[in-house]
Amino acid sequence: MTGTIINIVTVFLGTSLGVILGNRLPERVRETVLNGLGISTIGYAILSLVDAMSRQENVPAKFIVVLLSVLFGSVTGELIGLDPLLNRFGRWLESRFARNADAEGTARFVRGYIVASLVFCVGPMTILGSIQDGISGDFSLLAIKSTLDGFAALAFAASLGFGVGFSIITILVFQGGISLAAGAAQSIFSSPMLAVLSAVGALLIIGIGLTLLDIKKIRMANFLPALLIGPLIVAILHAFGAAGF
């Protein structure tokens, strides 16, 4: 859990600085910063996707698994209604801590919370770093991620406000939960399962980047089940003796 605690601290500090600086920056500067984050997010996701698949066998088959995971995950998320659920939670947080906000302020708060939560929690570094931290106590990967998240939180908060800071709740539950369950995950997750998991996470991050750039408004929370479906499909294919799984 050490890496998760460090991550929470850096996101909190980054958000605090971002909120302070954000009010002093012109709207056009904040918009440009957000666009820069969107471009950087997509770039990071592409690198992560390539890295996840670069050392794997039967990459075309694995990528088909990734696409199926995203497809079935999105359908599952839509049926469950994960995105509306996360939006309601964000609005509840806003009502508790920013009671005087208008409708525009509420939307900004919720967007900041959801975007930051997804960016900080669905990437390959989150999954792999949390497992590494939980299994061996080595939090070096999460420390690197924490540094990046701190700067990202600063930039996000400058444009989207202090809703970004409440993503520490999601980090604690999701990232901390993975670390605590890492002992079991060590014996369950194979290299192909982790590769598919990382690749699915990378595609979700690309979706977040498109949202940040206002190219397409995507209900990204509804894709989260794909992170579970991908490794499950790999496990099934492995049980049937599929090559490379």
Q: Tens-digit pLDDT profile for the chain (245 aa)?
A: 788 999 999 999 989 988 888 767 777 877 787 788 788 878 878 888 888 888 788 888 899 999 999 999 999 999 988 888 877 877 776 666 655 555 666 677 888 888 888 878 876 667 767 877 876 677 877 887 888 788 888 888 888 888 888 889 889 988 888 788 766 656 677 888 888 888 888 888 888 788 778 888 788 778 888 988 998 999 999 888 887 78
Is the residue at 47 inside a domain? yes
Is the residue at 93 inside a domain? yes
Residue 202 in tokens: 């990378």
Is the residue at 129 inside a domain? yes
Is the residue at 244 inside a domain? no
Counting the structural domains of the chain, the total is 1
Q: Where are the alpha helices (DSSP H) in the chain?
A: 2-22, 27-54, 59-80, 82-97, 103-121, 124-136, 140-160, 167-170, 176-180, 182-188, 191-212, 226-239
Residue indicated by tokens 């999954």: 127
Is the residue at 84 inside a domain? yes
Is the residue at 41 inside a domain? yes
Is the residue at 164 inside a domain? yes
By residue range, what is the domain housing residue 235?
Answer: 2-239
Cα-based angle 74, 234, 193 (whole degrees, multiple of 5):
90
Farthest CA pair distance, the chain: 59
Is the residue at 156 inside a domain? yes
Residue 136 CB: number of other CB atoms within 10 A? 10
Gap between the Cα atoms of 130 and 109, Å rounded = 27
Supply the pTM of this predicted model. 0.72
Find out whether 3 and 136 touch, Cβ atoms under 8 Å.
no
